[in-house]
Structure 1
């Protein structure tokens, strides 16, 4: 996943009301409750069914790093789906907040500069852009499409001030240092 996709994932995780399980045994138990069989858990993690049984019994507590990372990722991906959905619905009603430091380039009327420069911007985007961004992500859009939606939102709200200035301005959103998206 790219920078914007990762940021949306972090925004989802910030809405958790409880922490995901920490121990290997609790994580495997949770996955087993979700997918129902040790065979399915083993397939998710890329280990044998016997390894899954050992993790469940607690006889093996520390899996190798790649397996531990997959285990954590699978648990986080499935953790509190209703809470995530409620947070996304709230975001489509109230909008999202984008905080970023990135290079913004411009295409504007003659006589103005088109040199890109790094800016730090924190801006609340209205519900329409939040809905478009979340729908595109749910549809499996690539990072370029997500970046285009965020760039369009920042262009209209931050740079054009909701249409009150710089009518012919087009903004390019590149070289992202960091981006943090928050729901609400």
Structure 2
């Protein structure tokens, strides 16, 4: 995965976290152990499987789960049996993310439905570069800068972001955010000329649903 694709993914990940955080504490309750998390994900994979034979379906689900986590099938067996309670940090974080993102799909759809058409707040630390190809009326500079950003996206930007989340389109999500920040944050609606910006990297992006 390239760095650019990686920071794009953080945008949709931030939106998924915001949806999860909108649930009640009881609804947000997730498995605490590695075994519990792996078991919850295995049940999800088994529901997706088209295998009719129970043993083949379980084997196929374990293989799919291994690919999903980026580990060997043997590791999945150890997680499920409880023999491996503390996987490497990267895998532990992946387990947390996958369980969180897949939990309570019906409730999360309701949260998203209610959030459509409303503004959404963002907080982020992001690195922006400016246009380097000079054109009439365009301010250019070769320098890139990290900026701490706290903004409220109006519905005209927030609604298509939810569409991008629904379709898993991280490229579209970046385009929407970049368009908003270029017009409203950097150019203040056109007050400061026409500065072109490019989102180059993203430390984090947090969303808050009102």
TM-score between the two structures when normalised by the length of structure 2: 0.62
User: Whole-Å Cα distance in 2 between the matches of residues 102 and 5 of structure 1?
Assistant: 15
Number of the residue aligned with 2:199: 173
Task: Map 1:17-166; keep pairs closer than 5 Å.
Answer: 17=24, 18-27=28-37, 30-31=40-41, 34=44, 35-36=46-47, 38-39=58-59, 41-46=61-66, 47=73, 51=77, 55=80, 60=82, 62=84, 65=87, 72-106=96-130, 114=141, 116-143=144-171, 145-161=172-188, 163=189, 165-166=191-192
Which residue number in structure 1 is paired with residue 18 of structure 2?
A: 11
The root-mean-square deviation of aligned C-alpha atoms, in Å, is 3.7
TM-score, normalisation: structure 1: 0.69
CA contact (8 A) 1:90 1:183 kept: no
Whole-Å Cα distance in 1 between the matches of residues 128 and 98 of structure 2?
35
Q: Which moved more, 1:166-175 or 1:79-88?
A: 166-175
How many residue pairs align between the two structures?
177
Secondary structure of the structure 1 residue equivalent to 2:146: strand
- Aligned partners of 1:87, 1:71: CA distance in 2, in Å? 23
Tell me if the contact between 2:121 and 2:150 (Cα under 8 Å) persists in the aligned partners. yes
Seen in structure 2, the aligned counterparts of structure 1 residues 154 and 73 have a Cα distance that, compared at 3 Å, is closer
Which stretches in structure 1 are left out of the alignment for 5+ residues?
none
Name the CA distance, whole Å, in 2 between partners of 1:133 and 1:179: 13
Confirm or deny: 8 A CA contact 1:109 1:169 kept in the other structure: no
Report the counterpart of residue 51 of structure 2 in structure 1. Answer: none
